[in-house]
């Protein structure tokens, strides 16, 4: 499990954090293998946009496949959830964000997939507070595409290659972002911490 001090400090200072080679490579590689096994078991489903009745497949916006991480997880993915719990506790202790729990899915972007610009906080549900993403792709090159591009308040963008071990976290309501089309299979673990007091 990594030390989260630099992430918590960056969230405090500027609201977002990008850490390359942040996660121990051996742990991240074990997570990659575990996700590939879930994929072989056909546990990924087309992602949907929005909530409840509005949910619909909308490939013009989002074309990844997801697998929610809940029960019955292989050890490396359970270990990731344990690490996210440690991050949650540290963020609550140091930044008083009142995060209650995290919801996490693995996402698989096949070649050509993308996710258009969006905010992680839904219009009708303001509980999502902090986003945390871990990338699981060894040997990723710039020409493979699949960049995460985050809009910053000064009008510039932070761009992130989805390389093995890169960890990204940001305040869910404040940073519009998009995933540019990928040319290779692209695997991520994406989580959202929700605040207390939400009915969901
Ligand atoms: C998301 C998302 C970013 C990425 O799933 O909401 O923005 O880089 N993912 O996969
Ligand atoms: Mn997002």
CATH code, domain with 20 = 2.60.120.620
Closest ligand to the CA of 149: 1
pLDDT tens for 125-160 read: 778 999 999 999 999 999 999 999 999 999 999 999
Cα(8)–Cα(37) distance, rounded to whole angstroms? 32
- Residue 52 inside a domain? The answer is no
Give the distance, in angstroms, between the CA of residue 8 and the centroid of all CA atoms in the same chain: 16
Res 197 pLDDT > 80: no
User: Number of folded domains in the chain?
Assistant: 1
- Residue 33 inside a domain? The answer is yes
- Residue 50 inside a domain? The answer is no
pTM score of the predicted model: 0.93
N-terminal to C-terminal alpha carbon distance within the chain: 29
Cβ of 32 closer than 6 Å to ligand 1, yes or no, is no
- Residue 54 inside a domain? The answer is no
- Residue 142 inside a domain? The answer is yes
Whose CA is closest to 51, among 108, 3, 116, 122? 122
**Which string of b and e fits 128-151 if b means at least 16 CB within 10 Å?**
bbbbbbbbbbeebeeebbbbbebb
Strand partners, 59: none
- Residue 55 inside a domain? The answer is no
pLDDT value of residue 199? 53
Ligand 2: centre distance to CA 170 (Å): 10
Q: What is the mean pLDDT of residues 6-18?
A: 98
- Residue 51 inside a domain? The answer is no
Cβ of 166 closer than 6 Å to ligand 1, yes or no, is no
- Residue 125 inside a domain? The answer is yes
Phi, psi of 35, rounded to the nearest 5 degrees: -65, -40
Give residue 168's domain range: 5-45+64-195
Q: Whose CA is nearest to atom 8 of ligand 1?
A: 148
Ligand 2: centre distance to CA 190 (Å): 8
Res 52 pLDDT > 90: no
Q: Identify residues whose C-beta is under 5 A from ligand 2, the ion.
A: 120
């Amino acid at each position: 499990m990594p030390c989260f001090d630099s992430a918590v400090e960056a969230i405090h200072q500027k609201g977002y954090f990008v850490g390359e080679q942040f996660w121990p490579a051996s742990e991240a590689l074990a997570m990659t293998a575990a996700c590939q096994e879930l994929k072989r078991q056909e546990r990924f489903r087309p992602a949907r946009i929005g909530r409840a009745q509005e949910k619909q497949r909308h490939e013009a916006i989002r074309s990844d496949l997801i697998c929610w991480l809940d029960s019955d997880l292989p050890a490396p993915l359970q270990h990731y959830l344990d690490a996210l719990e440690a991050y949650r506790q540290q963020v609550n202790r140091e930044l008083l964000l009142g995060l209650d729990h995290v919801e996490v899915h693995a996402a698989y972007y096949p070649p050509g997939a993308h996710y258009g610009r969006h905010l992680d906080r839904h219009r009708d549900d303001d509980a999502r507070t902090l986003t945390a993403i871990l990338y699981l792709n060894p040997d990723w090159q710039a020409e493979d595409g699949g960049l995460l591009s985050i809009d910053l308040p000064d009008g510039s963008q932070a761009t992130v290659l989805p390389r093995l071990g890169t960890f990204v976290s940001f305040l869910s309501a404040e940073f519009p972002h998009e995933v540019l089309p990928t040319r290779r299979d692209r695997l991520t673990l994406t989580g959202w911490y929700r605040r207390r007091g939400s009915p969901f």
